[in-house]
């Protein structure tokens, strides 16, 4: 894995405001696909073997919401990623199609096409196409439960009249046999790259619209981007996330942070199997390191953190204000603020009641209603 000094260097590199890239004009594809990017958003990076087209995005949307994509016909991606909740599920820990609990909570898919790494703590998971295989075929935990069912899956998909049209239109290069796993994951990837959220009141404020934000939210914005609170170091740039990639970006800074949520043994331990990047790298220094997710639409994605252990936004603010969370008793007891692996940007601060309300108002101004209700992101299947 990466040496600590390298992580630190990239951390420092990623400090400060992300350069505000002007979106290059994106000419529509031959079938009319264009990004329709919000102001200040660059074009997402698209794998060269999976170019965007409208038919593929439409196929991906159908697959995303299709319960035939689960072993027992009860679940789709959309079961754990609901549009109205910015593609989360309202649970602390996700629950799969067979009832098995996932060790972590489902994540927002807002601007997921810009994420340099995917899932809570896996530096090796870098493409949407590869990630989709995990919920489909994973056996521990079972999410969609398709392991060993590939043939049955394609028989089900082929029998659907809409797919008889959508698969060949999306993948004309595949000829007479477009029904395969490659097509499924590519279409899901193309659909997810269109899940772009950048039209919240905060964005309208950035664009100069007077009154887009309340006075409280404007003050909260100043706090969020201040050296006193440090939030922007890890939730910065147009996506208000860390480790962002996009078309034309030379180097992806991939960073993970320990924010002092736990300290089980006084030596920094997080509870297994949620010890962050350490689960993948086996490096002690990666204990408790997680991805800093986007804060866009954060008011609709409670509960928070990788394990849903923070119920509300005021509670999340208290955690940072204390410089880490203290759990007084029980099996998870410990003083997270003394976690030796904690980021140097989580040191704690004092907030007045008014300042806390201001910061909350700012976080609430990141809700992009147009994104949460966009019919192009919605379930295309008729209600059963
Ligand atoms: C059982 C609920 C569940 C289902 C079904 C599910 N997901 Fe997820 N999703 C999760 C959880 C939990 C995570 C976090 C996983 C982790 O950190 O290990 C996640 C993470 C993701 C991420 C990473 C997001 C980010 O910001 O890093 C993507 C992308 C994703 N899911 C897409 C999908 C797709 C596509 C499908 C359908 C093929 C799907 N999911 C089905 C629960 C689910
Ligand atoms: C050192 C980097 C860092 C700083 C500074 C930081 N965060 Fe975070 N933030 C993270 C990481 C990493 C997570 C995920 C932690 C986890 O699940 O263990 C997170 C999670 C969150 C979440 C929950 C997100 C979700 O989808 O569940 C909120 C809300 C949040 N941060 C708000 C803030 C605010 C407000 C500030 C400033 C007071 C701030 N953060 C400062 C790195 C940081």
Handedness of CA 210, 22, 291, 261 (dihedral sign): negative
Atom of ligand 1 lying closest to residue 69 CA = 38
How many independent structural domains does the chain possess? 2
Structure-block tokens of residue 15: 């400090």
* Residue 351 sits in the same domain as residue 246: yes
* Residue 235 sits in the same domain as residue 208: yes
Task: Yes or no: say if 365 and 201 are a contact pair by the CB < 8 Å rule.
Answer: yes
Q: Is residue 312 part of a domain?
A: yes
* Residue 217 sits in the same domain as residue 351: yes
Task: Yes or no: say if 264 and 271 are a contact pair by the CB < 8 Å rule.
Answer: yes
Structure-block tokens of residue 250: 């030379």
What pLDDT is recorded for position 27? 66
Among 178, 197, 216, identify where a domain stops.
Answer: 197
* Residue 259 sits in the same domain as residue 188: no
* Residue 275 sits in the same domain as residue 299: yes
CATH number of the domain that residue 136 is part of: 1.10.760.10
Distance from Cα 23 to the centre of ligand 2, integer Å: 27
* Residue 175 sits in the same domain as residue 243: no
Q: Is residue 105 part of a domain?
A: yes
Q: Is residue 23 part of a domain?
A: no
Q: Is residue 40 part of a domain?
A: no
What pLDDT is recorded for position 307? 98
Gap between the Cα atoms of 151 and 142, Å rounded: 18
Ligand whose nearest atom lies closest to the CA of 102: 1
* Residue 207 sits in the same domain as residue 190: no
Q: Is residue 29 part of a domain?
A: no
Gap between the Cα atoms of 1 and 120, Å rounded: 17
Q: Is residue 383 part of a domain?
A: no
Among 162, 197, 232, identify where a domain stops.
Answer: 197
* Residue 228 sits in the same domain as residue 323: yes
Size of the chain in residues: 384
| Spatial CA neighbour of 241 closest among 222, 255, 221 | 255
* Residue 146 sits in the same domain as residue 286: no
Distance from Cα 148 to the centre of ligand 2, integer Å: 38
Q: Which domain holds residue 62?
A: 54-197
- The residue nearest atom 41 of ligand 1, judged by CA position, is 77
Ligand whose nearest atom lies closest to the CA of 79: 1
Distance from Cα 107 to the centre of ligand 1, integer Å: 6
Instruction: Quote the DSSP letter at residue 382.
Output: P
* Residue 191 CB–ligand 1 contact under 6 Å: no
* Residue 89 sits in the same domain as residue 230: no
* Residue 12 sits in the same domain as residue 74: no
What pLDDT is recorded for position 250? 80
- The residue nearest atom 37 of ligand 1, judged by CA position, is 77
- The residue nearest atom 36 of ligand 1, judged by CA position, is 77
Neighbour count for residue 71 (Cβ, 10 Å): 21
Q: Is residue 276 part of a domain?
A: yes
* Residue 195 CB–ligand 1 contact under 6 Å: no
Q: Is residue 176 part of a domain?
A: yes
* Residue 119 sits in the same domain as residue 170: yes
pTM, 2 dp: 0.93
The helix or strand, by DSSP H or E, that contains position 326, with its residue range, turns out to be: strand 326-327
Distance from Cα 292 to the centre of ligand 2, integer Å: 6
Among 197, 221, 238, identify where a domain stops.
Answer: 197
- The residue nearest atom 22 of ligand 1, judged by CA position, is 119
What pLDDT is recorded for position 249? 86
Kindly list the protein residues whose Cβ atom lies closer than 6 A to any atom of ligand 2.
Answer: 229-231, 233-235, 257, 259, 261, 290, 292-293, 295, 298, 301, 304-306, 313, 316-317, 320, 343, 345-346
Residue in the block written with tokens 């410990």 = 334
Distance from Cα 105 to the centre of ligand 2, integer Å: 15
| pLDDT in 10s for each residue of the chain, 384 residues | 333 433 433 333 343 344 445 555 566 777 889 999 999 999 999 999 999 999 999 999 999 999 999 999 999 999 999 999 999 999 999 999 999 999 999 999 999 999 999 999 999 999 999 999 999 999 999 999 999 999 999 999 999 999 999 999 999 999 989 999 999 999 999 999 999 999 999 999 999 999 999 999 999 999 999 999 999 999 999 999 998 899 888 888 789 999 999 999 999 999 999 999 999 999 999 999 999 999 999 999 999 999 999 999 999 999 999 999 999 999 999 999 999 999 999 999 999 999 999 999 999 999 999 999 999 999 999 987
* Residue 185 CB–ligand 1 contact under 6 Å: no
What pLDDT is recorded for position 370? 98
Structure-block tokens of residue 361: 């108002």
**Pocket test residue of 78, 82, 119 for ligand 1, highest count of atoms within 8 A of CB:** 119
């Amino acid at each position: 894995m990466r040496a600590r000094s390298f992580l630190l260097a990239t951390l420092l590199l990623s400090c400060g405001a992300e350069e505000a890239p002007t979106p290059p004009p994106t000419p529509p594809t031959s079938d009319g696909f264009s990004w329709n990017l919000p102001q200040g958003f660059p074009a997402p990076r698209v794998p060269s073997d999976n170019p965007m087209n409208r038919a593929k995005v439409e196929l991906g949307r159908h697959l995303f919401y299709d319960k035939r994509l689960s072993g027992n016909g009860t679940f789709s991606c959309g079961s754990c990623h609901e549009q109205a909740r910015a593609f989360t599920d309202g649970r602390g820990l996700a629950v799969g199609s067979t009832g098995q609990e996932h060790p972590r909570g489902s994540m927002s898919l807002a601007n997921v096409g810009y994420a340099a790494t995917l899932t809570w703590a896996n530096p090796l998971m870098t493409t949407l196409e590869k990630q989709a295989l995990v919920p489909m075929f994973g056996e521990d935990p079972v999410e969609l439960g398709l392991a060993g069912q590939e043939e049955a899956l394609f028989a089900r998909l082929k029998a659907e009249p809409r797919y008889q049209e959508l698969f060949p239109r999306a993948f004309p290069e595949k000829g007479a046999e477009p029904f395969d796993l490659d097509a499924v994951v590519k279409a899901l990837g193309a659909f997810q790259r269109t899940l772009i959220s950048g039209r919240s009141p905060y964005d309208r404020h950035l664009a100069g619209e007077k009154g887009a934000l309340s006075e409280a939210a404007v003050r909260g914005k100043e706090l969020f981007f201040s050296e006193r609170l440090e939030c922007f170091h890890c939730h910065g740039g147009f996506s208000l996330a860390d480790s962002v990639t996009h078309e034309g970006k030379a180097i992806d800074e991939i960073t993970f942070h320990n924010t002092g949520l736990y300290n089980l043994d006084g030596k920094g331990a997080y509870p297994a199997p949620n010890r962050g990047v350490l689960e993948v790298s086996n490096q002690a220094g990666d204990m408790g390191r997680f991805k800093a997710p986007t804060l866009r639409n954060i008011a609709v994605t409670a509960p928070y953190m990788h394990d849903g252990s923070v119920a509300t936004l005021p509670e999340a603010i208290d955690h940072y204000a204390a410089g880490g969370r203290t759990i007084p008793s029980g099996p998870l007891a410990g003083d997270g603020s003394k976690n030796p692996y904690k980021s140097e940007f989580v040191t704690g601060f004092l907030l007045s009641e008014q300042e806390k309300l201001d910061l909350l108002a700012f976080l609430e101004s990141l809700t992009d209603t147009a994104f949460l209700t966009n019919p192009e992101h919605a379930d295309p299947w008729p209600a059963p």
